[in-house]
Amino acid sequence: MKSIQFKEKKIAYADNGVGSAIVLLHGFCEDKNMWDNFIKHLKGYRVLRIDLPGFGESDVFKDTTIEEMAEVVKTMLNNESVKECTMIGHSMGGYVALAFAEKYSKMLNGIGLFHSHPFADNAAIKNRRIKSCNFMKKHGHFDLLKHLVPKFFAPKFAKKNKDLINDLIFRASFYSADGIIAAQHAMMLRKDRTAVLKKSKVPVLFIVGLEDLLFDLKDGLEQTYLPEVASIHLLEGVGHGGMFEAEKECKNIVINFLNFCDQN
**Residue 30, SS3 per DSSP:** coil
pLDDT of residue 139: 87
**Residue 55, SS3 per DSSP:** coil
Q: Quick one: pLDDT band at residue 41, thresholds 50, 70, 90? A: confident
List, for residues 189-219, the tens digit of each pLDDT value: 999 999 999 999 999 999 999 999 998 888 8
pLDDT of residue 219: 87
pLDDT at 264 over 90: no
pLDDT of residue 263: 80
Alpha-carbon distance of 25 to 93, in angstroms, equals 5
pLDDT at 31 over 90: yes
Backbone dihedral angles phi then psi of residue 114, each to the nearest 5 degrees: -95, 100
Domain segments of the chain: what residues?
A: 2-263
pLDDT of residue 215: 87
pLDDT of residue 163: 97
Q: Quick one: pLDDT band at residue 243, thresholds 50, 70, 90? A: very high
pLDDT of residue 193: 97
List, for residues 14-26, the tens digit of each pLDDT value: 999 999 999 999 9
Alpha-carbon distance of 132 to 140, in angstroms, equals 10
Q: In one letter, which amino acid is 40?
A: K
User: Mean pLDDT of all residues in the chain?
Assistant: 95
- Asked if 92 contacts 31 with a C-beta cutoff of 8 angstroms, the reply is no
pLDDT of residue 62: 87
* CA separation, residue 84 to residues 10, 87, 111 (Å): 24, 9, 12
Share of the chain above pLDDT 70, in %: 100
Share of the chain above pLDDT 90, in %: 92
Backbone dihedral angles phi then psi of residue 233, each to the nearest 5 degrees: -135, 115
Alpha-carbon distance of 242 to 249, in angstroms, equals 9
List, for residues 161-173, the tens digit of each pLDDT value: 999 999 999 999 9
At a CB cut-off of 8 Å and minimum separation 6, what does 36 contact? none
pLDDT at 52 over 90: yes
pLDDT at 149 over 90: yes
- Number of Cβ within 10 Å of residue 56's Cβ equals 25
Domain 2-263: assigned CATH number: 3.40.50.1820
E-state strands within 66-121: 85-90, 108-114
